[in-house]
Amino acid sequence: AAVRPVISFSPNWTPIFQGESVNLTCNVAPTAQRNLEYSWYRDEYWIPGDQQSLIIQSSKWSDSGNYQCQAGASERSHFLRLDIKSGWLILQAPPDVHEGDSLSLRCHSWTGYRTMTPVFYKNNKIIESPGSESELHIGRVDVTASGTYWCKKVIYFGTGTYSEERYISVSELFTAPEIKVRPDQVTEGDHVTITCDTKLSPHRETTELQFVFYRNGHNVQGFSLSNQYGVPSAQLEDSGKYTCEVQTPTDIVRKRSNMTLIGIQELFPNPLIKVSPDQVTAGDHMTITCDTKLSPHRETTELQFVFYRNGHNVQGFSLSNQYGVPSAQLEDSGNYTCAVQTPTGSVRKRSDVSQIHIQEFLCYPQIKVSPDQVTEGDHMTITCDTKLSPHRETTELQFVFYRNGHNVQGFSLSNQYGVPSAQLEDSGNYTCEVQTPTGSVRKRSNAAHIQIQVSILTPASKFSFRKIFTRFANSTGQIRPSLYLSIKESQFLSPACGYSGHCGLPRKSTWWSSGGATGMSLASMAEMPVTSSCFRVQPLMMHSRTASGVGAIVASCVIVVGAKFEYLTTPCTFSHCPT
Report whether pLDDT(161) > 70.
yes
88-119 residue pLDDT tens: 899 999 999 999 999 999 999 988 777 888 89
480-503 residue pLDDT tens: 333 333 333 333 333 332 323 333
Q: What pLDDT is recorded for position 1?
A: 55
* Mean pLDDT, residues 295-319: 96
* Mean pLDDT, residues 222-229: 98
Distance (Å, whole) CA 282 – CA 396: 14
Q: Which CATH number fits domain 272-356: 2.60.40.10, 1.10.240.10, 3.30.1380.20, 3.40.50.920?
A: 2.60.40.10
Report whether pLDDT(577) > 80.
no
Distance (Å, whole) CA 94 – CA 204: 14
CATH class of 178-262: mainly beta
Q: Tell me where in the chain the CATH 2.60.40.10 domain(s) lie.
A: 6-171, 178-262, 272-356, 366-450
Looking at CATH, the fold of the domain delimited by 6-171 is given as: Immunoglobulin-like (2.60.40)
Distance (Å, whole) CA 361 – CA 442: 10
Q: Which CA distances in Å does 300 have to 267, 268, 292, 303? A: 11, 12, 14, 9
Distance (Å, whole) CA 473 – CA 349: 103
503-514 residue pLDDT tens: 333 333 333 333
51-92 residue pLDDT tens: 999 999 999 999 999 999 999 888 999 999 999 998 889 999
Distance (Å, whole) CA 457 – CA 557: 13
* Mean pLDDT, residues 506-528: 32
Give the mean pLDDT of the chain.
81
pLDDT band for 463, please (50, 70, 90 cuts). very low
Report whether pLDDT(466) > 70.
no
Q: Which CA distances in Å does 498 have to 56, 68, 416, 462? A: 150, 139, 36, 20
Q: Which CATH number fits domain 366-450: 3.90.340.10, 3.40.50.300, 3.40.190.10, 2.60.40.10?
A: 2.60.40.10
Q: Which CA distances in Å does 492 have to 167, 373, 461, 485? A: 144, 21, 9, 18
Distance (Å, whole) CA 443 – CA 330: 12
Q: What is the pTM of this model?
A: 0.61
Q: What pLDDT is recorded for position 368?
A: 97
Report whether pLDDT(363) > 60.
yes
Distance (Å, whole) CA 95 – CA 81: 7
